[in-house]
Copies of this chain bind each other. A is one copy, B any other.
Amino acid sequence: MPSTGLSIIPINGVGEIRPGDEIATHVAAAAHDSGTPLADGDCLVVTQKVVSKAEGRLVLLDHSDRDARLRLVESESVRILRRRGDLVISETSHGFVCANAGVDLSNVEAGQAALLPVDPDRSAKHIRDALRARSSVEVAVIISDTFGRPWRNGLTDVAIGVSGIAAIVDLRDTTDALGRALQVTELALADEIAPAAELVMGKATGVPAAIVRGLSKEWFREGSARELIRPASEDLFR
């Protein structure tokens, strides 16, 4: 079904999130106060950083202690893929392959580091359930994080947690405009929604959430970021 277009709306005014805070409450209030309240059929994208903070996924770390940093990265990894200097590319317990196991030193208090949420899908579901219960809106939720990638410079946002929307859309059994089976069979939908949202969030402006409005209704179903993880046995680059 042809799209009529999307709106990508930053949610300003969320404020600082502290351990124990309910993200759904803060995000819904900020969206409302900004004049762009959440609506049914929206996909809310929330950065991993604020989810980690809300869930208390903060540890003590002396940022200048290189050995301590490396030990922390290793403790958050199940498998190291590559090392170069201070850079470690590893597989996290979730199955994500990324730099430094997603351990983040920015936007946290000095002497602390933020770790990835233990179960980002569950984090996404928690926010979605809370929005349904408190704000009576039925939305999907994606938890996003910023990853590098091989072969290409720069970082982009990807989905690490998903609730209420397909992470992968299977185009198998659809045909192209000339009636033939498509070569492209799996579209990583959640990994397109996450970077779209990042365009309005901004690493330096501290906007931690955005609404992606207008996505095709047929994409909304139960989903999981695990759909996005390629098994090591199928991966040619481990």
Q: How many A residues have CB within 8 A of the partner chain?
A: 76
B-side contacts of A154, CB under 8 Å: 167-168, 186-189, 191, 227-228
**A25 interface hit (Cβ, 8 Å):** no
The answer on a CB contact under 8 Å between B195 and A176 is no
Q: How long is the Cα–Cα vector from A25 to B201 in the complex, in angstroms?
A: 34
Q: How far, in whole Å, are A153 and B84 apart by their CA atoms in the complex?
A: 26
Q: List 29 A–B pairs whose Cβ atoms lie within 8 Å, in order of A's numbering.
A: A2-B10, A2-B12, A2-B202, A3-B10, A3-B200, A4-B10, A6-B7, A6-B196, A6-B200, A7-B7, A7-B8, A8-B8, A82-B237, A106-B180, A106-B183, A109-B178, A150-B235, A151-B230, A151-B235, A152-B158, A153-B229, A154-B191, A156-B192, A171-B203, A174-B204, A176-B203, A176-B204, A192-B199, A193-B199
Is B10 within 8 A of A8, CB to CB? no
Q: Kindly identify which residue among B5, B168, B202 contacts A9, using a CB–CB cutoff of 8 Å.
A: B5
Taking the nearest CB of chain B, how far is it from the CB of A161, in angstroms?
Answer: 14
